[in-house]
Amino acid sequence: MKIVVMGSGSIGSLYGAFLSTIKENEVVLVGRNPHVAAIRSNGLIIRGIMGEHIFYLDAVDDASEISEADLILLTTKTYDTIPAITAAKHLVDKGAYILLIQNGLGTEDLVATTLNSTRVLRATTCMGALRTEPGIVTATGCGLTEIGSRFPENNEFVELISMMLKQCGFDVRSSKNIEGVVWTKTLVNCGINPVGALTGLTNGAVYKNPELRGLVIKLVREAVNVVKALGIELTTDDPVRYALGTAKATGNNINSMLQDIMARKRTEIDAITGEIIRLGKELGIETPSNEVVYALIKAIESKYLEDPKDQSEIHHLDVKELVDTLSTT
């Protein structure tokens, strides 16, 4: 199978690398320099809890160099989804399936509409990874990958990809309720990610602090009210406990939103907390705590996005500051 990874940062590189260990697969990474240049020169180095390996893969910075593919793994940030799929549209037009491994809500519908194709699969992942240097990715956490599709005609292909990922060492489960899977992961992200990003703390440090645990609970409960109104079946009976359990189990992880702020990049707050707030307003459900953390994250990121030359230290809130800010909601 020819597999193209669009958005070969940390997670995309990780999946692409191990998929290349299957003899029948040909994997091409599409990413940005200097990461792509380093891979072409020295191979892709994977370190961390999955061991140390060097993978010699084809890597390019422009998808137009690729003429055909069987599967596209889209692992970009949510806000880069449209540019990425537009760049790969010629591959989908020739019959490629596209598997979105992303955070947030709604991207599969957006992709299906934009491409006018139902060959769209969706996945969530609890894998953790950091791109520590160009050409080097450190695996920081191993967790479940769940795959499904909103389009039943793709079920056979979902099973094929699930088996392939299992074969190369990932913990994978296929799901007929991918909407519930995505929402369950989003509830975790809406609780843990903003709190970690605002305080600069790892998931484990958030979990260990009783006041921060209380904030996570508050954020998740508001989002659960939205889920109930939408009639979505989650994959857990206790989403609050599940979110806290995830924080504990991934204690060493620096969540992706905090990684983005540390790297002075745009966060995915719009596709996570922003979507919860938007849907809440449509349904007449109040989400005051989510609105506060959304505003705080947007304020932080807007400062460095508006003035990229400003390299002043990013101010993380201490626990008391954050708790006091949210105590009025």
Tens digit of each residue's pLDDT (9 = 90 or more) over 202-216: 999 999 999 999 999
Asked if the model's pLDDT at residue 125 lies above 90, the reply is yes
Residue 257 to residues 132, 215, 300, Cα–Cα distance (Å): 16, 17, 12
Residues shown for the chain = 329
The amino acid occupying position 20 is S
Question: What residues does 174 pair with on adjacent strands?
Answer: 147
At residue 129 the predicted structure's pLDDT band, cuts being 50, 70 and 90, is confident
Catalytic residues: 185
> Structure pTM?
0.92
Residues of the chain with CATH 3.40.50.720: 2-176
The CATH class, in words, for 179-326 is mainly alpha
| Residue range(s) occupied by CATH 1.10.1040.10 in the chain | 179-326
**321 contact partners, CB below 8 Å, separation of at least 6:** none
**pLDDT on residue 329:** 67
pLDDT band at 193 (very low <50, low <70, confident <90, very high): very high
Structure confidence at residue 315 (pLDDT): 84
The better pLDDT of the pair 318, 179 is held by 179
Architecture of domain 2-176: 3-Layer(aba) Sandwich (3.40)
Amino acid at 189: N
Q: Are 155 and 132 in contact (CB under 8 A)?
A: no
**Tens-place pLDDT, residues 156-175:** 999 999 999 999 999 999 99
Say if CB 6 and CB 86 are below 8 A apart.
no
